[in-house]
Amino acid sequence: MTQSGMMQSLAKKRIAVVGLGLSGLATVRFLLNAGIRPVLMDSRSKPAGIEQIAPEKVDGIYLGELDANRLAKMDMIVLSPGLSPTHPAIRFALAQGVELVGDVELFARVNNKPVIAITGSNGKSTVTKLVEAMLNASGINALAAGNIGLPVLDAIARPGVDVFVLELSSFQLDTTRSLHSIASCILNVSADHLDRYRDLTAYAASKQRVYQHTQLAVFNLADSATTPEQAVHTLGISLADSAYGIVQLADTAWLQVAGEPLLPVAQMTLFGAHNQFNALVACALALAAGASRDGLITALTQFVSLPHRCILVAQKHGVRWINDSKATNIGATQAAIAGLRPGVKGKLILIAGGDAKGADVRELAPVLQHDVQQLITLGQDGAAIAALKPGSIQVKTLAEAVKVAAKLATSGDMVLLSPACASLDMFNSYGDRGEQFAAAVKAEVL
């Protein structure tokens, strides 16, 4: 169906937009621009941004408890990724035959531009922005959107885009079935969002949906959960691989891309083994979309690390302070430690804790025992993490954690904030947590 045909089809439907966060508001704008008057619902009594919507332009705004009977009268529900499809009101509507989609599914139905699709428990934002940078450096107008911040239905209105590079969460993939991509990947699967999925297998199955309708599935040879279950063209990547991996040339480590050396690892702006893997995946995805090798090199040598992802906050008296607040699950913290520990001459002092989102924190035990010399914990699940390592120190605030770390750290040490947990038990967001960490470090040691 053509884009105009799809919009005409949507115009005939009774549509409810449920959840008025960033993606929900973008969906409302998209529908209004197409002359469609949706019904709006949100479980919150006053969602931020609701004032942007003129009540006379929609067919009703209903806040608070979701109205199951009203939803059951719809033809389509566009559900925010922040709300579970298992919500009783949603389940009731589905039982009456109402179609459930997300904003990514709407995007997929009207988009006619090439797409790169990226998911994974950790690293997907870095890879998404790297691919975008590689394509733009190759003269291809690429735009990153999705879970990274720019809603896909806002992105589709941008003029002059050649390729959309989409970061997709498992929640978004749960309501997506029509997305076609020239290349897609699952970077890794580790315990996350187990407060929403029944187990890790169900969570991994949601990630597998990214491989639907893809021309090339890129996966992690070291993580069997990323292996495509569908019969598609595949490319497995690991640091030890001969086609995409790390090779030694004259005692220098190089990125090997598509069987040929690309550039010395030391010339990358990103550091750590996990980012070497991310770079290789980004290269494979970007090449599939037409990037040049010169474009890959330009991006890898100029890329600025994303906020709160292994960022050097300060270096004083030989001690490095690293903000990895974006590590909101166990796998992210494991990857950060594995990537950073080889470059630490002294002690690695880890600050961790928060809301583990139902994950089994005992999975952290091996890395805490072998690679972390001092553990400082805080937050809702801080005590459970502290129990995994003798001599751990529990504190009540992040500022107190920084003070304790400053007293323990000596030249050659690294202090790493990598919480392995969500932040909302104590902070507004992982960004707020990272900013408070940076402020505390600067106040304490600079």
Torsion-angle region of residue 249: left (phi > 0), alpha (psi -120 to 50) or beta?
A: beta
Instruction: Please tell me which residue in 129, 193, 274, 389 is annotated as part of the active site.
Output: 193
Torsion-angle region of residue 45: left (phi > 0), alpha (psi -120 to 50) or beta?
A: alpha
Judging by beta carbons within 10 Å of its beta carbon (0-12, 13-18, 19+), is residue 252 exposed, middle or buried? exposed
Q: Clarify whether 207 is annotated catalytic.
A: no
Which helix (H) or strand (E) segment is 16 a member of?
A: strand 15-18
Which helix (H) or strand (E) segment is 240 a member of?
A: none
Q: Clarify whether 147 is annotated catalytic.
A: yes
Which helix (H) or strand (E) segment is 165 a member of?
A: strand 163-167
Q: Number of C-alpha atoms within 13 angstroms, CB side, residue 344? A: 26
Judging by beta carbons within 10 Å of its beta carbon (0-12, 13-18, 19+), is residue 379 exposed, middle or buried? buried
Q: Number of C-alpha atoms within 13 angstroms, CB side, residue 173? A: 26
Q: Clarify whether 136 is annotated catalytic.
A: no
Are the beta carbons of 410 and 318 closer than 8 angstroms? Answer: yes
Instruction: Please tell me which residue in 111, 122, 124, 278 is annotated as part of the active site.
Output: 124
Instruction: Please tell me which residue in 111, 136, 147, 329 is annotated as part of the active site.
Output: 147
Nearest Cα to 229, choosing from 252, 201, 250?
A: 201
R_g of the chain, CA atoms, integer Å? 23
Residues annotated as catalytic are: 124, 147, 193
